[in-house]
Amino acid sequence: MTAQARDGLIFDDAPWLYDRHRPGYPDTAVAALVELARLVKSSRVLEVGAGTGQLTTKLLDRGLTVTAIEPGARMAVLLRGKLSANPSASVVESRFEEATRLTGTFDAVVSSTAFHWVDPDRRYDLAARVLRDRGSLENHRRLPSARRNALLGEIRPFVTEELGDRFVDRYVTTVCVGRKRG
């Protein structure tokens, strides 16, 4: 396991504290994410780095079907408990790079303040493999808007159209439509 991968698991040491103190995502920022990606009720979403479900629950509240990938064993247990009554939710305990149980294709791959933990040499290719044709990749994060151009430079080889980005409630949401890699 790389140092980056180990660092990403630090939150798994005390998931109940993370859950209690991690700020949620503003409804306006989540609405922007859903609108920019053109998601509708029952759209299939893959969330990378779901944590204890701060974004997951908001996506489910909008009628989306969410598969949440969480590498931390304790975080995944807590998340499964939160989502157990919702048939539109499933949790996969795995790093995105090692998630072999994913089935079908997704309308969107979303990650909120977690995509930087995924191997930078593989993250966009991995997203492209699970997206349906014209599916979207959404990177929802607290990031200085000055970093936008660098981020788009990383994403460009994997997209056919940039749907735009929006700065809402201290969050920048960037959405691109991806082409499925062969």
Instruction: Measure Cα distances from 144 to 59, 97, 171 in Å.
Output: 24, 27, 9
What is the pLDDT at residue 165? 52
What is the average per-residue pLDDT within 147-158?
58
47-62: pLDDT as tens digits: 999 999 999 999 999 9
| Model confidence band, residue 143 (pLDDT cutoffs 50, 70, 90) | low
What is the average per-residue pLDDT within 175-179?
53
Is residue 45 predicted with pLDDT exceeding 50?
A: yes
Report helix, strand or coil for 54.
Answer: coil
| Model confidence band, residue 18 (pLDDT cutoffs 50, 70, 90) | confident
What is the pLDDT at residue 182? 46
Give the count of beta carbons closer than 10 Å to the beta carbon of residue 174.
21
Give φ, ψ of 68 to 5 degrees.
-105, 125
**Lowest mean pLDDT segment, chosen from 27-41, 89-103, 146-160:** 146-160
Q: Give percent of the chain with pLDDT exceeding 90.
A: 35
N-terminal to C-terminal alpha carbon distance within the chain: 27
What is the pLDDT at residue 173? 55
More confident residue, 119 or 174: 119
More confident residue, 65 or 111: 65
Please tell me the total number of residues recorded for the chain in this structure.
Answer: 182
Q: Which of 22-26, 81-85, 137-141, 143-147 has the highest mean pLDDT?
A: 81-85
Q: Provide the whole-model pTM.
A: 0.80
Cα–Cα dist 112/144, whole Å = 15
Closest CA to 173 of 25, 3, 29: 29
Is residue 69 predicted with pLDDT exceeding 80?
A: yes
What is the pLDDT at residue 176? 56
Q: How many CA atoms lie within 13 A of 79 on its CB side?
A: 29
Tokens coding 110: 């979303």
What is the average per-residue pLDDT within 18-31?
83
Give the architecture (CATH level 2) of 3-178: 3-Layer(aba) Sandwich (3.40)
What residue ranges do the domains of the chain occupy? 3-178
